[in-house]
A = this chain, B = another copy of it.
Amino acid sequence: MSSSIRILEVGPRDGLQNERITIPTDAKIRFINNLAQAGLEEIEVTSFVSPKWVPQLSDAAYLVPSLPKGPKYSVLVPNLKGLERAIEVNVSRIAIFTAASEAFTQKNINMTIAQSLDVFEQIVLAFRKEQPDGWVRGYVSTAFECPYSGKVDHESVHNVVDRLLAMGVDEISIGDTTGVASPTEVRHLTRHLLQTIPITKLAYHFHDTHGTAIANTMSALDLGIRAFDSSAAGLGGCPYAPGAAGNLATEDLVYLLEREGLSTGINLDSLSKASIEVLAILGRHPVSKSQIAQFSASETSPK
C-alpha cells in the first residue's frame, strides 16, 4: 500500500460557507496563504454559488485571481452559471456536489439525484472544453445517513459514484455529512465500493459531530484509502446542529497521519496559527484537540 497521502483542505470553502460571519476577502487571502505556507498543497478556496444563497463566498471572482501561486486550488461549482463565472477567472480544478440520499438532494439543491447528475454531466463537458487538462472532483454527501430519511444503503452510494466516474470525474469524495458514522460502517462501505472502483479514485470527507472522524479515517487508511478532506480548525460547524462540531479538523488529521508514520509535509504549529487567526475573527474557541494541545503544550510540557 502507498505511504503517500493527500489532504484536501476545505476550510476556506466548506468551512467558511457554514459560518455565520463573513470573513473579509483580505483575511481569506492571508488565511489561504498561511495554509499554503504550512504545507497544504490542495485547497478548495471558494464556491461559485449564487451570492444570494451564500453571501459568505460572494467574493469568489475577486478572491481566486488574488491568491498566491503554489498550491492546487479548486472551487465548488453548483451549476452552469457558476461554471461560467469560474471559467472567467481561469479555474483549472472544480468540484461538484451531490448526495446519495434522494431526500437530502431535494432539500439541499432542489433537484432529484438524477437531475443533479444530468446537470453535472453538462458542467463536466463544458469544463473539459475550456480546460482539457482540468481536474474534477465529485462530492457524494450523506453516504451513511441522511438527516431527513435515515440510513443510506451502499448501493445508493455506489450508483452515484459510478455515474460520476462514467462522466469523467477524476476523484470522488464520500461524505459523512452529519458526522454519525462509526469505523465498521466506513469499513463496510469502503469494501463495497472497492469491489468495482479503483482505490485511487476515492477520498473521504468526514465530519466530527460525534467524535468519530479520526477513527473513521483510520478505518479507511487501513483499507488503503490515501486521500482525505479536512478543514483547518474544524471550521464549518454542523448546519444540522448549531454549536456542534462539523468538518474533521486538519490539525487532528495531520496529528494522526504523522503519528501513523505517513508524512504529510505539513507543519502543525504553522497550521494551528493560521486557523486560530480565523477563529478569532469568527469569535470562536478552538475545538480541534490537536490544535488546543499545540498551544498549551508549548508553554507547560515537561521536558
The chain A residues found within 8 Å of chain B, CB to CB, are: 107, 147-148, 179-185, 208-212, 214-215, 217-219, 238, 240-245, 249, 252, 255-256, 259-261, 285, 287-290, 292-293, 295-297, 299-303
Contact B300 A240 (CB under 8 A): yes
Closest residue on chain B to residue A185 by CB atoms = B259
Sampled A-B contacts (8; CB under 8 Å):
A148-B303, A182-B259, A210-B252, A215-B256, A243-B292, A244-B292, A244-B293, A245-B289
For the complex, give the distance between the alpha carbons of A241 and B296 in Å: 5
Let me know if B210 and A244 touch, CB within 8 A.
no
B289 touches A209 (CB 8 A): yes
List, in ascending order, chain B residues with CB within 8 A of A218's CB: 182-183, 215, 218-219
Q: Would you give the shortest CB distance from A228 to chain B, in whole angstroms?
A: 13
Minimum CB–CB distance for A101 against chain B, Å: 12
Other-chain contact of A214, B212, B240, B245, B299 (Cβ < 8 Å): B212
* Bound: A293/B209 CA distance, A: 6
B211/A301 in contact, CB under 8 A: no
Kindly state the separation between the CA atoms of A259 and B179 in the bound complex, as whole angstroms: 12
Q: With both chains docked as a complex, state the minimum distance between the C-beta of A232 and any C-beta of chain B, in angstroms.
A: 14
Q: Is the CB of B256 within 8 A of A182?
A: yes
Q: Which residues of B contact A289 (CB under 8 A)?
A: 208-211, 244-245, 287
By beta carbon, the residue of chain B nearest A208 is: B289
Are B255 and A292 in contact, with the CB atoms below 8 A? no
B288 touches A285 (CB 8 A): no
Kindly list chain B residues whose C-beta atoms are within 8 Å of the C-beta of A180.
Answer: 259
Contact A240 B210 (CB under 8 A): no
* CA of A241 to CA of B290, assembled, Å: 11
Are B255 and A295 within 8 A (Cβ)? Answer: no
Contact A147 B301 (CB under 8 A): yes
The CB with the most chain B CB atoms within 10 A, among A288, A297, A303, is that of A297
Known A-B contacts A183-B218, A240-B297; A256 and B212 likewise in contact (beta carbons under 8 Å): yes
Chain B nearest Cβ from A152, distance in angstroms: 15
Q: Top 10 nearest A-B pairs by Cβ distance? A: A211-B289, A182-B259, A215-B215, A241-B296, A211-B252, A243-B296, A244-B293, A241-B297, A244-B296, A215-B218
Q: Are A295 and B243 in contact (CB under 8 A)?
A: yes
Is A183 a contact partner of B300 (Cβ separation < 8 A)?
A: no
A211 to chain B, nearest CB (A): 4
Tell me whether A211 and B255 are in contact (CB under 8 A): yes
